[in-house]
Structure 1
Amino acid sequence: MRTKVAIIGAGPAGMLLGQLLHSYGIDNIILERKDRDYVLARIRAGVLEQGTVGLLENLGITERLHHEGLIHDGIELLFGGVRHRIDLKAASGGKVVTVYGQTEVTRDLMDAREKAGLTTVYDADNVSLHDFDGATPRVRYQKDGVTHEIACDFIAGCDGFHGASRQAIPASAVQTYERVYPFGWLGLLSDTPPVSPELIYTNHSRGFALCSMRSPTRSRYYVQCSLDEKVENWTDDMFWDELRRRLDTEAAESLVTGPSLEKSIAPLRSFVAEPMRFGKLFLAGDAAHIVPPTGAKGLNLAASDVHYLSMALREYYDDKSSAGLDNYSATALKRVWKAVRFSWWMTSMMHRFPDADGFGTKLQQAELDYVVHSDMARASLAENYVGLPY
């Protein structure tokens, strides 16, 4: 097979890139090592920046998003037993976020790709990348016991943190930066109405908690836990009891509980690999960087990456210029590091650290008080939360 761009990974980054390239008339093939149902079974967050929604709107695939998505123009910070609302729309000059699950974004992109008759190869085993530092990039994979090869002009690695793309790069050619946080998030998904119409971020002596939602009838809740916790040790009742302890009185009393649809524990880390280009291989999304979910930036960073990459590829094919491709890594990383900083800041401000002393706790309290009472601080939080410009 031959294509212009071989995309590794059928998550939101790969699917969005594929649709953008198709809209620019650039042929592409997507390879995914799992099947479609497996990809859609992944439970992920879903707070979309306006820039991400704008990309989907330009592709004409936001009908379901606009019908089912929840527009949020504020969030609440809970500390000292009191909730404080941050008016994102007012503080950011009119921008908002949309709550719409990452799974639903991926489903919409998959449906659009299938409708357009574009090629996606699922269950592609043993994917390997070849000659991406030379003139004839190739991707090999196995399906149903048969080995296949795709010749291409460029390879886009959108296959996540554990994917084959970054691992194909010589260790000497990549610099990594990492911060592993000493806690995780225990998350529970339930078919219950959200406790609040907006997200509640909680700083509590027992640890962080987050009240979120997927729809008016489906809620997603998290509590900070230690890294050695086992999800099987947590019954639904234990989770609900712990969540109530970390909420204010009104929220605790109005919380509607129910059986979990899914429970899982996610460790938190910040990770960046530089550069994001190696010859004719380009990394995007989680293949290049990971952020803790506190700042709601993971999916949105993937969207900005593929925006930059798709525009650079369009410039290459339409204008015969490689300037955008040459600048891709530096351009993407500027935004990546700002999102890494914001996610680190939110995480540091809202969580309880195992080695925290009285001094650290007082600093957290002062930071939170400053954020909710300073116009400038609220504006900074809002500007980053709704998304920095591309």
Structure 2
Amino acid sequence: MASQAQTQVGIIGAGPAGLLLARLLRMHGIDSVILEQRDRAYVEGRVRAGVLEQGTASLLEEAGVAARLKREGLVHEGIEIVARDRHLRIDFRDLTGKAVVVYGQTEVTKDLIAARLAGDGPIIWNAADVAVHDIDGEQPTLTYRSDGQDHRLTCDFVAGCDGFHGVGRQSIPAQALQSFERVYPFGWLGILAEVPPCSHELIYARHERGFSLASMRSPTRSRYYIQCAVDEDLSAWPDARIWDELKLRLGPAAAAGMTTGPSIEKSVAPLRSFVVTPMRFGRLFLAGDAAHIVPPTGAKGLNLAASDVHYLSRALIAFYKKGQADALERYSESALARVWKAERFSWWMTTMLHKLHDESSFEAQMQLAELDYLASSRAAQTALAENYVGLPY
């Protein structure tokens, strides 16, 4: 017989969305249990992006987990865009009065896990065969296996924060959902190395050989990407070849400041845009990658997860503390309004900067015209900056 337990909010997934939601709820006395199919070492070791919007940083501060972020995070007041030897700096502070913070998603996850395990409630690691039941009733349940035993968790609500391939979205009847997707015909080959970054700000480069990005995780750890085929063979890309390609695509200024070294992580990531609507069915609510994916070009993935958590946490707090269900009813509508704007921005950045067509094509000339207009228009630069630093909740 399965063991029986009960909580107010059952959360599937111990990524940033699930952990941040649990933390914000606990600060208002709302209990939760987090189920995670992987172990703690795997979750804390996942290499992900790390550009935080001002709103995300504020939400982490509200959650009481921003001490290390404030101490170690790198405040960036702009980015550089390079195309055909033209260098354009987008000055966030001047254009919007705001900035972003570079702080790895891995570090955000570690901070949230530490806070959770300090007394907020349980994380069930290695939770296998998680299944969601009765989400259209008054008391949905989660079943799973842990330590060789079957368990049954009764909840008031379930939050599916378990990513694109998780059971959360798959538990909603297919006929109740509508999906929108664009799969891009290229990927990003990423390299992580223990070397200082070549620039103090991110560099986005459009080159006739393909897009490239110079980023960082800390003053001593750099993250670089180059556009590649989706099925690129990593064995064909030794470190030396990657560094040579980066120097070529990023341009002489970045190359002059680049320190090379052995990679500590190397991978190819496909790019896609994906949105499912609605983000709620009955008492199951989706958040983060379970509901939407953005290309990494606009640095919106983690920030959209935090945006969802902003709306969902406040809706649940209003329900439990004031008996108000209106915000829960509006959750999908509220979250999707911001999701679609971020999807548009990420799609725009991606299509403007990547090699999609032959350089002699009409479409390639349109890309260059777009970049020329961006360089000549403060209004266009302001629009980019507003979206990059994060639209208001």
Q: Shorter-chain TM-score: which interval?
A: over 0.9
Specify the alignment match of 2:208 in structure 1.
205
* Aligned ranges 1:165-314 → 2 under 5 Å: 165-314=168-317
Give secondary structure in 2 for the equivalent of 1:116.
Answer: helix
Give secondary structure in 2 for the equivalent of 1:220.
Answer: strand
Specify the alignment match of 2:8 in structure 1.
4
Q: Give the AA of the match of 1:280.
A: R
Per-residue CA deviations over 1:137-192 (Å, capped at 9, x if unaligned) read 00000012210010000000000000011111111111000000000000000000
Correspondent of 2:385 among 366, 382, 387: 382
Answer whether contact 1:82 1:248 (CA < 8 A) is retained.
no
Greater shift in the superposed pair: 97-106 or 109-118: 109-118
Correspondent of 1:135 among 131, 135, 138: 138
Q: 1:358: Cα distance to partner? A: 2.1
Give secondary structure in 1 for the equivalent of 2:216.
Answer: strand
Q: What's the C-alpha RMSD, in Å, of the aligned pairs?
A: 0.9
Q: Give the AA of the match of 1:220.
A: R
Answer whether contact 1:297 1:339 (CA < 8 A) is retained.
yes
Answer whether contact 1:83 1:248 (CA < 8 A) is retained.
no
Greater shift in the superposed pair: 110-119 or 254-263: 110-119
Answer whether contact 2:50 2:103 (CA < 8 A) is retained.
yes
Specify the alignment match of 2:61 in structure 1.
57
Provide the rounded CA distance (Å) in 2 between the counterparts of 1:230 and 1:315: 50
* Aligned ranges 1:107-146 → 2 under 5 Å: 107-146=110-149
Distance change in 2, residues 1:144/1:357 (3 Å): farther
Q: Give the AA of the match of 2:124.
A: V
Q: Give the AA of the match of 1:322.
A: A
Dislocated runs of 4+, deviation >3 Å: 354-357
TM-score using structure 1 length: 0.98
* Aligned ranges 1:70-109 → 2 under 5 Å: 70-92=74-96, 94-109=97-112
Answer whether contact 2:78 2:93 (CA < 8 A) is retained.
yes
Q: Give the AA of the match of 2:320.
A: Y
Q: Give the AA of the match of 1:224.
A: Q
Q: 1:116: Cα distance to partner? A: 2.2
Answer whether contact 2:208 2:359 (CA < 8 A) is retained.
no
Provide the rounded CA distance (Å) in 2 between the counterparts of 1:296 and 1:22: 28
Q: 1:356: Cα distance to partner? A: 6.5
Distance change in 2, residues 1:355/1:146 (3 Å): farther
**How many residues align structurally?**
389
Q: 1:321: Cα distance to partner? A: 1.3
Answer whether contact 2:356 2:364 (CA < 8 A) is retained.
no
**Amino-acid identity (%):** 60
Distance change in 2, residues 1:30/1:80 (3 Å): same
Structure 1 gaps, min length 5: none
Q: 1:246: Cα distance to partner? A: 0.4
Provide the rounded CA distance (Å) in 1 between the counterparts of 2:64 and 2:46: 24
TM-score using structure 2 length: 0.98
Q: 1:357: Cα distance to partner? A: 4.9
Give secondary structure in 1 for the equivalent of 2:6.
Answer: coil
Answer whether contact 2:8 2:157 (CA < 8 A) is retained.
yes
Answer whether contact 1:84 1:372 (CA < 8 A) is retained.
yes
Specify the alignment match of 1:18 in structure 2.
22
Provide the rounded CA distance (Å) in 2 between the counterparts of 1:377 and 1:214: 28
Specify the alignment match of 1:318 in structure 2.
321
